[in-house]
């Protein structure tokens, strides 16, 4: 299977032959930063289009169909529109925090995004505490949401931010604990190591029942963390207009919007990496011919295929179930998911020992 590390090593060697080591490093930093940001923006455009199309089909209509064939350039047109919009100044809001909040949200999201192994040899950040890093950095978003709600000096935003804060903090517990089940199984927190261990069997098959329970709980908790679907209390439009980003306009609103879609992608990508084998192809022990054929499919196709499958699950849930009440939402986490997670962790430990 072709590895992206050949390409990156070639770029590294060329740059080092052209200039000094220090400058080569500097240019590489800039290149990686630009690449991550471009990938982030492009994926957001694709995801917004996919969401609108899928939502359209669930509601028996066509979705966007005017700009380009099947409306594929709809989100590009929307991007240009949102970039040209005016940034409205809110009367008696805390200006500094109001501007800063949207950056906190999007920086937390980008930092998480950079740690995902997209294909063989294509990973920007690979710490030996990878899983922990993903959980820690994504919690920056909560601060941004709370600040956004408070600083815009509006009751809708405030209530939305408080709900969102409570929801995110609660659901982080069960998403963290369900990832811990896989850490127990693999014995490592490094994302590249976790992917490498799934070369012959994906963890969702290798881990028997506990891995499957953890996968389902992670999808539910992750879905709740993105403030979407049946868990979108913070921005319930019928009661709060649109929650913590009510007062935002133009690209500042765009940041929240991008972060929401990319968080959905990140949850799906982490689920893929931890449970569905990341970029590893599907291998079945004993079927050598089948395995060889699967190896010919490039690694990034595997990764994006699985991730978009998880994204589709999220969209399906979002457009199918009615919204929960805020007390039902918190009860679900503290009284159902978290106890299941703790028992599941013990079960996983037993499976590993046996």
- 172 forms part of the interface with other proteins (CB under 8 A): yes
Least spacing, CB of residue 142 vs other proteins, in Å: 6
- 291 forms part of the interface with other proteins (CB under 8 A): no
CB distance 251 to 82 below 8 Å? yes
- Lay out the site mask for other proteins across 212-251 (x = CB under 8 A, - = otherwise): ----------------------------------------
Q: How many CB atoms lie within 10 A of CB 93?
A: 17
Among residues 84, 79, 54, which one has the least CA distance to residue 67?
79
Nearer to other proteins, 59 or 91 (CB): 91
Burial 240-269, CB ≥16 within 10 A → b, else e:
bebbbbbbbeebbbbbbbbbbbbbbbbbbb
- Burial (CB < 10 A; 0-12, 13-18, 19+), residue 187, is exposed
Q: In this chain, which of 34, 83, 96, 216 binds other proteins, going by CB under 8 A?
A: 96
Instruction: Looking at residues 107 to 146 of the shown chain, list those that interact with other proteins (rule: CB under 8 A).
Output: 127-129, 132-133, 135-137, 139-140, 142-143, 146
SS3 of 122, please? strand
Least spacing, CB of residue 158 vs other proteins, in Å: 8
Stretch that binds other proteins, among 88-96, 221-229, 282-290, 331-339 (CB under 8 A): 88-96
Instruction: Looking at residues 24 to 53 of the shown chain, list those that interact with other proteins (rule: CB under 8 A).
Output: 25-26
- 150 forms part of the interface with other proteins (CB under 8 A): yes
Which pair of structure tokens corresponds to residue 333? Answer: 């986490």
How many residues bind other proteins, per CB under 8 A?
34
- Lay out the site mask for other proteins across 8-27 (x = CB under 8 A, - = otherwise): -------------xx--xx-
- 162 forms part of the interface with other proteins (CB under 8 A): yes
Least spacing, CB of residue 176 vs other proteins, in Å: 9
Nearer to other proteins, 189 or 311 (CB): 189
Least spacing, CB of residue 224 vs other proteins, in Å: 16
- What's the half-sphere exposure (Cβ side, CA atoms, 13 Å) at 162? 8
CB distance 2 to 301 below 8 Å? no
CB distance 112 to 42 below 8 Å? no
Tell me the C-alpha distance between 57 and 63, whole Å.
Answer: 7
Residues 6+ apart with CB under 8 A from 348: 181, 184, 185, 207, 210, 211, 214
Name the DSSP letter for residue 190.
-
Stretch that binds other proteins, among 147-155, 244-252, 276-284, 291-299 (CB under 8 A): 147-155
Tell me the C-alpha distance between 172 and 47, whole Å.
Answer: 23
Least spacing, CB of residue 134 vs other proteins, in Å: 9
- 189 forms part of the interface with other proteins (CB under 8 A): yes
Least spacing, CB of residue 293 vs other proteins, in Å: 36
The residue written with tokens 């694709």 in the block is: 46
Among residues 177, 273, 262, which one has the least CA distance to residue 227?
262
Interacting residues toward other proteins by CB under 8 A: 21-22, 25-26, 92, 94, 96-97, 100, 127-129, 132-133, 135-137, 139-140, 142-143, 146-147, 150-151, 153, 158, 162, 165, 169, 172, 188-190
């Amino acid at each position: 299977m072709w590895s992206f590390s050949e390409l990156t090593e070639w770029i590294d060697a060329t740059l080092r032959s052209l200039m000094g080591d220090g400058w080569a490093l500097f240019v590489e930093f800039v290149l990686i930063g630009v690449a991550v940001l471009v990938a982030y923006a492009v994926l957001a455009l694709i995801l917004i289009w996919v969401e609108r199309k899928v939502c359209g089909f669930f509601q028996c209509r066509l979705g966007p169909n005017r700009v380009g064939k099947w409306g594929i350039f709809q989100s590009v047109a929307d991007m240009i529109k949102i970039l040209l919009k005016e940034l409205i100044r809110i009367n008696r809001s805390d200006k500094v925090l109001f501007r800063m909040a949207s950056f906190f949200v999007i920086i937390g999201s980008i930092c998480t995004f950079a740690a995902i192994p997209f294909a063989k040899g294509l990973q920007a950040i690979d710490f030996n505490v990878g899983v922990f890093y993903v959980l820690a950095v994504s919690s920056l978003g909560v601060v941004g949401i709370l600040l956004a709600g408070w600083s815009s000096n509006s009751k809708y935003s405030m209530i939305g931010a408080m709900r969102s804060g409570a929801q995110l903090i609660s659901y982080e517990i069960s998403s963290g604990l369900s990832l811990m089940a896989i850490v127990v199984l693999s014995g490592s927190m490094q994302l590249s190591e976790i992917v490498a261990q799934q070369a012959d069997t994906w963890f969702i098959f290798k881990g028997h029942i506990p891995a499957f329970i953890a996968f389902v709980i992670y999808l539910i908790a992750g879905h709740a963390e993105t403030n979407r679907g049946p868990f979108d209390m913070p921005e319930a439009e019928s009661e709060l207009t649109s929650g913590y980003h009510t007062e935002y306009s133009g690209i500042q609103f765009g940041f929240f919007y991008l972060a929401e879609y990319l968080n959905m992608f990140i949850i799906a990508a982490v689920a893929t990496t931890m449970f569905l084998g990341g970029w590893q192809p599907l291998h079945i022990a004993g079927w050598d011919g089948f395995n060889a054929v699967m190896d010919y499919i490039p690694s990034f196709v595997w990764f994006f295929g699985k991730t978009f499958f998880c994204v589709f699950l999220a969209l399906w849930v979002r457009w199918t179930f009615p919204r929960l009440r805020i007390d039902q939402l918190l009860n679900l986490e503290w009284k159902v998911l978290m106890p299941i997670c703790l028992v599941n962790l013990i079960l996983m430990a037993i499976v590993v020992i046996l």
